[in-house]
Amino acid sequence: MTAVQDAPTQPHAVPGGPGGPGAPDASDLTVAGVRAAVAPVLQRLAATSAAREAARDFAFDDVRALGAAGVGLLVVSRDEGGAGGSLRDAVDLVIEVARADSSVAQALRSTFLASVQVASRPDLPHRDRALARLLSRGLQAGTGNERSGGASGSVSTTAERVEGGWVVTGEKYYSTGGLYASWFSAQAQAADGTLVRFTVPTDREGVELVDDFDAVGQRLTASGTTRLHGVRVSDDEAVVGGEAVPDNPWQGSFAQLYLAAVQAGVAARALDDAVWWVRERARPTKHSSATTSAEDPYVRQTVGEIAARAQAARAVVLLAAEELQATWGLTGDEARAAGSAAAVHVAQAGVVAIESALKAAELLFDTGGGSITDRALGLDRHWRNARTAANHNPRQWKQAVAGAWHVAGEEPPTTGLF
């Protein structure tokens, strides 16, 4: 799809935004209220996830309904129009969204990242504008990735300086959530090598969103290509490189914790489907002395292991959220020390969550015979989704960095992967 409408001068409203159908009153937004509003949406997503993935059917209405319900305002303070929730509240909700449909959870990642940036950084450049985008309840997308042949993280998208702003031209990939979003964030490089980070409406003239994401899993994350054809970016939509390094330079920790929360949701859904299969569909193997599969001790053992792995994933993610929350508001050396420790904590949580989800998704098939592999059930999507999400953040690096911190006191890199 291509957006070629005139660029709005203010963040634009979306259907179901403040005052829209099903949206909690903005003057009384609470964590409980958001959870109540999203509950029926998550029920629909959970019931249709397998069929939608098989048909490549994007859940546009339901995903945007989550935005309208205020998920992007969960951690924004009450006095700024948010629900005043904690990071634990945020990742707990992400786990539940991923439990319903992990592709949807992945697609909401940029919206949650923007929300946490606003909530945790009073010094965030153009913070008022970023808050206004969240208050519009439109969803956000973004990426720094390109398929230019350069090293990971290299930027070939160009930013040409013009009066009052920039003209950006290039192509971005892994634009997670792009097709659902009202806003798109990325970065480009000026002629002198300076990085220019920007956020523009997805209906800005020259923004083209392409549905070409073709991974084995997470197929409905809308993570395809975004082409930028001479897109005009105003100065108040851009942040030019050279910003001072914050006291806590590990600004990517929540982004990594978010991915771990998605994995915890995959593990939880594997448990849900294992229990459903055993109770409703499974037959005892001919070697079993049990009259039903639910009474078979080996099936029970398998479900118990899936449950343990799902619990482990959830526990480490929630604990890491508390560690990361404790870094907010700190300054100086104290902020750096706490940020380093939290980044390691998040990395360790990511390892456990990834491996728990992969194993839980595999063990699901040990609760049944050949019929559990029927393609129509789509139960293989849990492993495929976990595997695809895991490739965003290699766990070998997380393990090595955690080991270096424990053994030698080495700080993690500040690349955004920890």
pLDDT-based confidence at residue 251 (cuts at 50, 70, 90): very high
Residue 211 CB neighbour total at 10 angstroms:
15
d(CA 299, CA 269): 17
Q: Cα 233–236–240 angle (5° rounding)? A: 80
Given this model, what pLDDT does residue 397 score?
95
User: Which parts of 70-206 are beta strand (E)?
Assistant: 140-142, 158-162, 165-172, 183-189, 195-201
Q: pLDDT per residue over 121-153, tens digit each? A: 998 999 999 999 999 999 999 988 888 656 666
Dist. CA 49–CA 301, nearest whole Å: 27
The pLDDT value given to residue 134 = 98
Q: Torsion over CA of 198, 202, 204 and 209, rounded to 10 degrees?
A: 110
- pLDDT at residue 86 tops 50: yes
pLDDT at residue 16 greater than cutoff 60: no
Average pLDDT for 6-29: 46
How distant, in Å, are the alpha carbons of 144, 287, 300, 303 from that of 290?
55, 9, 11, 16
Weakest mean pLDDT among 3-7, 36-40, 272-276, 367-371? 3-7
Cβ contacts of residue 78 below 8 Å, gap of 6+? Answer: 29, 84
Looking at per-residue pLDDT, the higher value among 256 and 286 belongs to: 256
Residues 202-229 have a mean pLDDT of 96
According to the model, what pLDDT value does residue 200 have?
A: 98
Where do the structural domains in the chain lie, given as residue ranges? Answer: 7-139, 158-240, 253-408
Q: Is the pLDDT of residue 10 over 60?
A: no
Greater confidence (74 vs 12) lies with 74
| pLDDT band at residue 406 using 50, 70 and 90 as cut-offs | very high
The pTM score is 0.92
Q: What is the CATH number of domain 253-408?
A: 1.20.140.10
The Cα 208–Cα 249 span in angstroms is 33
- Cα 393 → chain centroid: 13
Residue 195: alpha-carbon gap to chain centroid: 24
Return the number of other C-beta atoms located less than 10 Å from residue 213's C-beta: 19
Q: Which of 270, 287, 293 is nearest to 368 (CA)?
A: 293
The two tokens of residue 221 are: 């994350």
pLDDT higher than threshold 80 for residue 242: no
pLDDT at position 3, please?
40
Alpha-carbon gap, residue 2 to 297, rounded angstroms: 56
∠364-368-370 over CA atoms, to 5°?
115
pLDDT at 54 over 70: yes
Give the chain's mean pLDDT.
91
pLDDT of residue 11: 34
- Fold designation for 158-240: Butyryl-CoA Dehydrogenase, subunit A; domain 2 (2.40.110)
Residue 26 pLDDT exceeds 60: no
Q: What end-to-end distance do the CA atoms of the chain give, in Å?
A: 34
pLDDT of amino acid 150: 60
Q: Quote the CA–CA distance of 263 and 398 in Å, as a whole number.
A: 15
Tell me what percent of the residues of the chain surpass a pLDDT of 90: 83
Helix (H, G, I), strand (E, B) or coil at 387: helix
Q: Domain 7-139 has what CATH class? A: mainly alpha
Average the pLDDT over each of 41-55, 231-245, 326-340 and give the range with the smallest value. 231-245
Asked if 306 and 363 touch (Cβ cutoff 8 Å), the reply is: yes
pLDDT tens per residue across span 191-212: 999 999 999 999 999 999 999 9
pLDDT(346) > 50 = yes
Residue 63 to residue 104: CA distance in whole angstroms: 7
For the cut 50, the answer to whether the pLDDT of residue 37 exceeds it is yes
Q: Taking residues 362-376, what's their average pLDDT?
A: 95
Instruction: Look at residues 255, 253, 266 and name the one whose alpha carbon lies nearest to residue 96.
Output: 266
Which residue is it, tokens 């005009």?
Answer: 232
Task: Quote the percentage of the chain above a pLDDT of 70.
Answer: 91
Q: Do 91 and 253 form a contact (C-beta atoms < 8 A)? A: no
How sure is the predictor about 244, in pLDDT bands with cuts at 50, 70 and 90? low
